[in-house]
């Protein structure tokens, strides 16, 4: 008889008997949490929308007035300028785009190389007051080979 009693009591404890299992989950707190979460999400989205509107108004007001340092700034940047940057104050004031055919980077590079080659293959003053001159590169190499480099002894 004892086996029958223990068997029937263990069946009912593990859900093997008739009936249903009572749920320990209360639905009320879950619903209130979801409502609170939804309200918080709406409030946060309204705050973010207001913040973006404030930033947009602030940016619009800042664009209307120039910086106090703007009058002290040069219109053209100092040399060396980037390729296809404005090359004159008139071009900058008129807001004209660069002339790609004349100011193309490859043409600019060719023009720069021609200027450097002309400087390397000609005579000229480096500093006229102190009497320093530059000579063509070929002559400089030849003089260097004839005289040699000075070395420490």
In this predicted model, what pLDDT tens digit does every residue of 62-119 receive, in sequence order? Answer: 666 777 777 777 777 777 766 666 667 777 788 877 776 666 777 778 888 998 899 8
CA angle 122, 125, 130 (to 5 degrees): 150
- In terms of pTM, does the model score above 0.75? no
Which H/E stretch holds residue 112? helix 105-120
Q: Which tokens go with 55?
A: 């930033």
Return the structure tokens found at 22.
Answer: 């009572």
Say what the pLDDT of residue 84 is. 67
The two structure tokens encoding residue 10:
């263990």
pLDDT band at 39 (very low <50, low <70, confident <90, very high): very high
On whether the CB atoms of residues 85 and 77 are closer than 8 A, the answer is yes
CA quadruple 39, 40, 44, 45: dihedral positive or negative? negative
Cα 114 off chain centre by: 36
- 10-34: pLDDT as tens digits: 555 555 567 777 777 888 999 999 9
């Amino acid at each position: 008889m004892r086996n029958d009693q223990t068997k029937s009591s263990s069946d009912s404890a593990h859900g093997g008997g008739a009936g249903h299992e009572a749920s320990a989950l209360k639905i009320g707190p879950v619903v209130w949490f979801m409502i609170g979460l939804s309200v918080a999400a709406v409030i946060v989205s309204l705050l973010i929308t207001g913040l973006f509107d404030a930033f947009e108004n602030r940016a619009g007001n800042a664009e209307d007035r120039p910086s106090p340092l703007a009058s002290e700034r040069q219109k053209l940047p100092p040399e060396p300028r980037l390729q296809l940057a404005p090359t004159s104050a008139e071009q900058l004031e008129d807001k004209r785009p660069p002339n790609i055919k004349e100011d193309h980077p490859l043409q600019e590079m060719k023009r720069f190389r021609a200027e450097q080659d002309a400087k390397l293959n000609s005579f000229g003053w480096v500093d006229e007051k102190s009497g320093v001159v530059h000579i063509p590169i070929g002559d400089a190499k030849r003089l260097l080979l004839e005289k040699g480099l000075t070395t420490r002894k």
